[in-house]
Amino acid sequence: MAGTEDKKKSSAKQSGGKKKEVKKETGLGLSNRKADNFGEWYSEVVVNGEMIEYYDISGCYILRPWAMSIWEVMQEFFDAEIKKMKVKNCYFPLFVSPGVLQKEKDHVEGFAPEVAWVTKSGETDLEIPIAIRPTSETVMYPYYSKWIRGHRDLPLKLNQWCNVVRWEFSNPTPFIRSREFLWQEGHTAFATKEEADAEVLEILELYRRIYEEYLAIPIIKGKKSELEKFAGGLYTTSVEAFIPNTGRGIQGATSHCLGQNFAKMFEINFENEKGEKAMAWQNSWAYSTRTIGVMVMVHGDDKGLVLPPKVASVQVIVIPVPYKDADTQGIFDACSATVNSLLEAGIRADSDVRDNYSPGWKYSHWEMKGVPLRIEIGPKDLANKQVRAVRRDNSAKQDIPSADLVEKVKDLLHNIQQNLFNEAKQKRDACVQVIHTWDEFVEALNQRKMILAPWCDEEEVEVDVKARTKGEMGAAKTLCSPFDQPELPEGTKCFASGKPARKWTYWGRSY
């Protein structure tokens, strides 16, 4: 990349360009390759692509506008969809009293190591320390108990867009594992289990759409094991993604049926239509800024970010390429007209007309930031009433007549979105391995596969698999049991215990 840039700059000098004004910055390239050192590559990409900046408190990151704009696109989609489901937005405080937090024993045990506490006000020790929410079940449910009295108060469907704090100590990673992150959390209460069950899957489908339709990432919908389910819940469903470069699964979002456990603890009771006392059925569901990290990991390459057009805040960047004796003003006017035509058609476009950077530098800069489509306009393009379009996903170039600009750009953006998904699915599918025995499992795990195996669905067997695979790379665990179950022939044995298998389950290492 730097070599191309140098050539462009030297040609600018030879053709009498304003060499003093053109910055000789060639440090745009990444110093780590995705295939060679994934962790370092990822850290570089999120900083150089202007997604985050590191902060002076470990595990906390500044989300820059380039990242926030992606979050806002997803937020706009999801918020509109849940409102169609009659979910209303609210906001509950960040602080939790210890008594309330500790009310649900399994729940607090699941989160206890990650809870941050406020213990001082100025120089004075607080009489009772106050927790900062790791999630809001215990914050919200005392008030559900107050607000729900009769069957006419149900269903109660609330969501909040907020931050939560989980004081992670192991390997903080921007977006993937941080001490504070943004998310939405929905908390709903119903009169019947049937209504709760139906909503769990309705929300999970919205999460699938975020990943597959917006972020162009293939996911698997499934149910978590008893060991991996939400602490204190009845069952957990999730969308699971996979990172081929590291051979790790990643939980994309979760939709939990809490059953009546929290209703029992927080006395969320109501009088049903028969005048009898009944307990509410509850759900909670969430997705977070982790989504952005998964997108970077799946699509990014050795030139930087690769953004799917649906979530990119700039879908098309227009760059003037003036040469000596060219009609510079004409080129700049054409760039301006191109951007305006695209904006009027609802395409998010911008131009880079800075005169202190060479075109080559700009190409590298916007490639690093992952803009899906670059349009170049030089003297020949101006003369031929065309523009040159360059795709970020595969570097393919195409000359587009100015008269067909909007239609062709829309087609290209659609094709880029689809191609990113197809490529990601192809890579993910190549990593999936079906196994039947323990030896096959260990071999597949060493090859960084996402493993589909027949399992007896017993918790102690999963604990044993974790113990037997513990090592430098981390232990293997269940990712999910897919809803789309392959046929399980009679007599199939569990790969780990030899007992009769009850289901197919995905296994692997995970983030």
- Say whether both 146 and 248 belong to one domain: yes
Domain for residue 28, yes or no?
A: no
68-98: b or e for each residue (b if 16 or more CB lie within 10 Å)? bbbbebbeebbeebbeeeebeeeebebebee
**Six-digit token string for 120:** 């001082």
pLDDT in tens, 216-273: 999 999 999 999 999 889 999 999 999 999 999 999 999 999 999 999 999 999 999 9
Model pLDDT, residue 473: 80
Q: Which domain holds residue 350?
A: 316-417
Residues 140 and 260 in one domain: yes
Please tell me the predicted confidence (pLDDT) of residue 29.
Answer: 87
The answer to whether residues 146 and 270 belong to one domain is yes
- Cβ(263)–Cβ(255) under 8 Å? no
Determine the residue type at 193. K
Question: Is 125 in the same domain as 219?
Answer: yes
Using CA atoms, how far apart are residues 251 and 199, in angstroms rounded to an integer? 20
| Contact status, residue 233 vs residue 197, Cβ threshold 8 Å | no
Residue with the bigger pLDDT between 393 and 99: it is: 393
Beta-carbon neighbour count of residue 100 at 10 Å? 17
Residue 201 lies in a domain: yes
Is 296's pLDDT higher than 90? Answer: yes
- Residues 290, 320, single domain; the answer is no
Give the whole-angstrom CA distance, residue 30 versus residue 23. 19
Whether residue 478 is predicted with pLDDT greater than 60 in this model: the reply is yes
- State the number of CA atoms in the 13 A half-sphere of 277 facing the CB: 5
> What phi-psi label fits residue 285: left (phi over 0), alpha (psi between -120 and 50 degrees) or beta?
beta
Residues 231 and 335 both lie in one domain: no
pLDDT score, position 24: 41
Q: Report how far residue 294's alpha carbon sits from residue 217's, in angstroms, rounded to the nearest whole number.
A: 8
Q: What's the confidence (pLDDT) of residue 511? A: 93
**Within-domain flag for 311:** no
pLDDT at res. 46: 98
Cα angle 270, 276, 277; round to 5: 40
**Does the residue 305 lie in any domain?**
no
Render pLDDT for 350-378 as a digit per residue (tens, 0 to 9).
999 999 999 999 999 999 999 999 999 99
20-74: pLDDT as tens digits: 344 444 457 899 999 999 999 999 999 999 999 999 999 999 999 999 999 999 9
Token pair for residue 237? Answer: 């469903």
Q: Do 128 and 82 share a structural domain?
A: yes
CATH of the domain at 326: 3.40.50.800
What local confidence, expressed as pLDDT, does residue 109 receive?
79
408-462 pLDDT, tens digit per residue, is 999 999 999 999 999 999 999 999 999 999 999 999 999 999 999 999 999 999 9
pLDDT over threshold 60, residue 101: yes
Handedness of CA 231, 235, 240, 245 (dihedral sign): positive
Question: Is residue 245 located within the same domain as residue 117?
Answer: yes
Which pLDDT score, from 0 to 100, does residue 498 have? 97
Q: Which residues contact 203 (CB under 8 A, 6 or more apart)?
A: 82, 186, 255, 283, 285
What's CA 201's distance to the chain center, in Å? 19
Of 446, 388, 394, give the one whose Cα is nearest residue 415.
Answer: 394
Amino acid type, 224: K
* pLDDT at residue 6 greater than cutoff 80: no
| Interval 486-507 mean pLDDT | 98
Q: Which structure tokens are listed for 93?
A: 């405080």
Residues 64-78 pLDDT 10s: 999 999 999 999 999
Q: Decide if 166 contacts 179 (C-beta within 8 A).
A: yes
Do 351 and 496 share a domain, yes or no? no
At 27 the pLDDT is 53
Q: How confident is the model at residue 84 (pLDDT cuts 50, 70, 90)?
A: very high
Note whether residue 277 is domain-resident: yes
- To the nearest 10°, the Cα dihedral for 431, 434, 436, 437? -10
Dist CA 263 CA 269 (whole Å): 7
Contact at 8 Å (CB) between 377 and 387?
yes
Please identify, among 299, 331, 350, the residue that sits at the C-terminal boundary of a domain. 299
**Beta strand spans in 300-449 (E):** 316-320, 349-351, 373-377, 386-391, 397-401, 432-434
CATH number at residue 480: 3.30.110.30
pLDDT more than 90, % of the chain:
88
User: What is the rounded CA–CA span in Å between residue 473 and residue 491?
Assistant: 33
Instruction: Look at residues 222, 308, 292, 256 and name the one whose alpha carbon lies nearest to residue 507.
Output: 222
Q: Is residue 454 within 8 Å of 494, Cβ to Cβ?
A: yes
Identify whether 66 is part of a domain: yes
Residue 126 C-alpha from the chain's centroid: 38
Q: Provide the number of structural domains found in the chain.
A: 3
User: Last residue of a domain, which of 372, 392, 417?
Assistant: 417
Q: How many CB atoms lie within 10 A of CB 324?
A: 12
Q: How many Å is the maximal CA-CA distance in the chain?
A: 90
d(Cα 356, Cα 85) in Å, to the nearest integer? 51
My answer on whether 348 and 380 are in the same domain is yes
The Cβ of residue 438 has, within 10 Å, a number of other Cβ atoms equal to: 16
Residue 423 in any domain: the answer is: no
The answer to whether residue 310 is domain-embedded is: no
pLDDT tens for 11-21 read: 333 333 333 34
Quote the DSSP letter at residue 153.
Answer: G
The reply to whether 254 and 136 lie within a common domain is yes
Instruction: Kindly report the length of the chain.
Output: 511
Q: Which of 279, 218, 280 is nearest to 252 (CA)?
A: 218
Least confident of 15-29, 90-104, 168-182, 333-347: 15-29
| Co-location of 64 and 136 in the same domain | yes
Which CATH number goes with the domain that contains 276?
Answer: 3.30.930.10
Task: Work out the average pLDDT over 171-193.
Answer: 96
**What's the mean pLDDT in 150-165?**
97
